[in-house]
Structures are given as C-alpha cells and as structure tokens.
Amino acid sequence: MIKDCCLVFDVGKTNQKYFLFDPDFKILKRERIKVQKIKDEDGHKAENIAGIEKWMKDRFDELMQSEAFEITKVNFSGFGATWVHLDKDDQIITPVYDYHKEIAGDTFNLFYENYGPEAVFASQTGSKNLNMLNSGKQLYWLKTKRPKLYIKIKCSLHLPQYLSFVFTGEKFTEYTSIGCHTDLWNYETKQYHQWVKSEKIDLLFPPIVQTNKTVVKNFNQREIIFGVGIHDSSSALLTYLLKGKESFILLSTGTWCINFNPFSDDSLFDKTQINNGATAYMKVDGSPVKSSRLFLGEEHRLKVKKLIKHFKKPKYYHRSLEWNKAWTGKTFPASKNHFHWKFLDNANAPAQDDLDFPDFETAYCKMMMELIDLLKEQLDVICETLPKKIYIDGGFSDNKIFLALLKKQFPSQKIKAKPASFACALGAAQILGQDQ
C-alpha cells in the first residue's frame, strides 16, 4: 500500500477532474469527466453543483476503500467568479449562476452611481467592469433586484471553498478566490472595499484564512487533512513560483487564458492598463499579482466547431494536426484578418468570418495566428519587459499548432509547456505542505 497520498478535485469550468498523488507528487490515478450544465430560473445555463458534488463524493468513497493506497490529504481547486449561496440550514438557496449571465444594464449603472466614478473604482479593485464576471456584483444584483431571495442568504462561499465545505462542514474565505476580479477587494487599502461594507455584504462571508489553512476530519476512523480550496489558475501559478526566483510569465490556458506576471515591478494598475484588460489577482498570501485574460479556449471551441462543419471533418480532427511551417508561408496577407470573435476585441476583425481557405489545416492555423496576436496584446499590457521564460499550462499545453505559433511570435523567449499538464491540481496538493 502506498501511504500518505493526496487527493485533489480539480473542478474546471469545462471539465471536472481528480488527481491522486503519491508523497512525491507523482500521479497514481486520475479521471476527467464533464458534468452537464443545468438552467437557472431565467433559463440561462447554470452550474450543476449537485452533479459535481455527487461525483466528488462517489469518487472519494471509492478511493477511500482502495487497498492500493492510503489517502491522508484532500484539497480542491476550482474556477473563479462563482458563488454558492447557503441559507440558515446550510442548504443551497439559489442556482449557481454562470458568470456570463446577462443582467440588465441599469443594475450596474446604479452601482457606479453609488460607488464610482467607475475609473477610480476600477483602479482600486484591479478590474474594469466585467458585469457578473466581477462576482461581487452578483450579490449586489441579488440584493437590489431579487431581495426576497437575497434575504434568505446567510452565507456566500466562493466555489473552491464550497467544494471543501461539502466534506468538512466548515466555512472559510481565502485570498485567491477573493482576488479573482471579484470587485470585493480594495488593493490600495488591502481590505474589503467600502461598498462591500456599506451594503453589509461582508456579513455573508466567513472569516478570511490563508490558503494553506487545513482542517482535520475523521472518515472511517481515519484522520484526513482537508484544505480549504484554491482558485484554479492561482493554484497553477503557485507550482511555478515554488520552482525558484527566476522571473517568468505563466499562461494558464483552458476556457480562459489567464496570463500571470508575478514579477512585475508595479503590481498596481493605471487607467490605461485596466482599460486594456489588466486585472489584479492574488497570491496565496494575499499579495497582488498583475494579470490579464483572454477568452481563448471558448473562442477556440466555437471556431473549431464551425471549421469542422465547414470542411466536413470529424469531431476533434484538429487534435491530430502536426505543425507544418508551410502553412504560415505566403498564404495570408499580413494585414488581413479572417475571423470575427464572439467575446474578443473585433477592432481589426471582419464583420463576419471569411472562410476562404483551401483546407481545414490552413484555416485552423490562421485562426490560431489571430488568437495569438490578441494574446500578445494582453501580454504587452502586463509586461514592461517580457521575461525570457514563458510557461504554458493547461489545455493548450499540448496543442502543437499553438505552441509552434507562440514560438514564432516570441522568438527570443524560451517557451516551456507541460503536455497533459496538471498544475492546478498540483498546486492544490503542494499548498497543504506549506507552513501555516
């Protein structure tokens, strides 16, 4: 029997995974599933938290019964900008709303009338107005637009902390979840923003603890050490920070591509940087880290679906592609873009997709080139000088086309990617061993 193993549930926006690590953080067992979304009361997609919870409990019970290994530690990484609201009996009282839920604009106009000016507020909270993606605004929306529902909420947990609560029954708040463009935190005063206190929303939050906080619980007469959960991309960043002090930037890729520059000389932002997409995140100790975001994975998913249909290719055909530098030859005029994006900046994009390509491969390559051009803009926002090393983690770390084009875009940088990366889960496991 392998002793002292650590189980991590890594709940992503698109996929849900678990990883079982041995004491040296080698993977012993893993699983990847996709829990289907449900609908909220308005017919908008919402997170199927009951399905996620059942999957976690079922897998935990199965793994705890194994005679091949002994689990002594459990932690959780989860995507950000997502709340689980509990009533007085600790039951979920609202749907787990999707952070892209569309809300009437007057809600946030009123918010900035009361707590703006918007530019000043953005510089304090480290994020421009992202509507419900600023998850603190979800609570403001519930309070002002659905007061009968809001009044029943007695505790609001960030998703990673709810995942921990499922097993421990204990409620906490921690820095990486607060720091995920929530609009809750004032980076200048290093505490909850005044609007949170004025609206008394902070009364719904459990105490703030450091991310390495642990709770010991007994299961089947065995003591298990549980973590309090961690924001997934911040967890990935942790694994690279633990490697040493040499500067780097991290591209944590998946549904989002979140770009971290933890070595920026200036951790706060000016108005221009914020307008261009710079965002403050938090490290596990509550210190800020300069970041930017691109909805890379979602745009990629939508365009691949369209290209597969247009060129009549099998599903996931793009995953089989090997890099061919001839694709980037003289095929594309440098000044012409072919793709129009659903969520990204379309300033230099056509009004609609131009699919005048000889084949899927050429179209896919051009699509990736345009995404990487947009990615470069986001890196320029957070990097005064680009570090020599760029780490690629997550879903695009084994995309050969993406990596080849990235190297072409940044020829002076060393691009390091881990195929089938598991840094989000690894960081959640490693944090349990850090001194409290």
Q: What is the CATH number of the domain that holds 186?
A: 3.30.420.40
Closest C-alpha to 148, from 81, 93, 206: 93
Domain boundary among the residues 181, 203, 228 is at 228
196 and 334 share a domain? no
Distances (CA, A) of 133 to 64, 109, 182, 347, 435: 36, 16, 7, 22, 32
Task: At 378, list the tokens.
Answer: 């986001």
Look at residue 130 and tell me if it is in a domain: yes
Can you give the pLDDT at residue 373? 94
Split into its structural domains, the chain has a count of 2
Q: What's the pLDDT score for residue 346?
A: 84
Domain membership of residue 209 (yes or no) is: yes
Q: 116 and 81, same structural domain?
A: yes
Output the pLDDT for position 104.
82
Domain end (from 197, 228, 259)? 228
Domain identity same for 27 and 113: yes
Query: Could you tell me if 223 and 307 lie in one domain?
Result: no
Residues 172 and 195 in one domain: yes
Give yes or no for a contact between 379 and 281, defined as CB atoms under 8 angstroms apart: no
Q: Is residue 199 domain-shared with residue 282, that is, in the same domain? A: no
Shared domain for 289 and 348, answered yes or no, is yes
Instruction: Give the residue carrying structure tokens 């519930």.
Output: 142
Residue 147 lies in a domain: yes
Quick check: is 118 in a domain? yes
Tell me, yes or no, whether 198 and 313 share the same domain. no
Of the three residues 207, 228, 249, the one that is the final residue of a domain is 228
Q: Which residues, in sequence order, are CB contacts of 241 under 8 Å at separation 6+? A: 262, 283
Domain match, 170 and 312 both:
no
Residues 358 and 422 in one domain: yes
- The answer to whether position 233 is within a domain reads no
pTM value?
0.89
Judgement on whether residues 108 and 247 belong to the same structural domain of the protein: no
Spacing of C-alpha 136 from chain mean position? 16
Q: Are 414 and 390 in contact (CB under 8 A)?
A: yes
What is the domain range of residue 430?
A: 240-436
- Rounded CA gap, 135 and 325, in Å? 42
Instruction: Write down the pLDDT at residue 328.
Output: 66
Structure tokens at 226: 């549980």
Mean pLDDT by 10 residues, the chain (436 residues): 97 95 97 97 97 98 96 98 98 97 88 94 93 96 97 99 99 97 95 98 97 95 96 94 90 92 76 84 90 94 98 95 76 77 89 94 94 94 90 92 94 87 92 75
**Residue 314 falls inside a structural domain:** yes
193 and 254, same domain (yes or no):
no
